[in-house]
Amino acid sequence: MEKVVDFNKSVFELAKEYPEIVDILSNLGFSDITKPGMLNTAGRFMTIPRGAKMKNIDMEKIIKAFSDKSYKVIL
């Protein structure tokens, strides 16, 4: 089964579908995602592109990290 990550979905939705993405995002600089409750609050409305813009993390770096873990990214 192909793992598809739709960057239009909230981080909460994606983490529910693929819990391992929390570690991927944390390693990319989204360290707040590991704080208790953060995924259930901000994660419900935050998308990866919006978070990347807020944290000033290059989207190409994020896409590559997901591709390296065998995810297909939908923008």
pTM of structure: 0.92
Distance of CA 21 to the CA centre of its chain: 6
What pLDDT score does 60 carry? 98
- Predicted pLDDT at 37: 94
Q: Into how many domains does the chain fold?
A: 1
Give pLDDT tens digits for 63-75. 999 999 999 999 9
Nearest to 75 by CA among 49, 54, 45, 56: 49
3-state secondary structure of 20: coil
Position 2 confidence tier, pLDDT thresholds 50, 70, 90? confident
Residue 41 sits in a domain whose CATH number is: 1.10.3910.10
Domain with 15 in it: 3-74
5-44: pLDDT as tens digits? 999 999 999 999 999 999 999 999 999 999 989 999 999 9
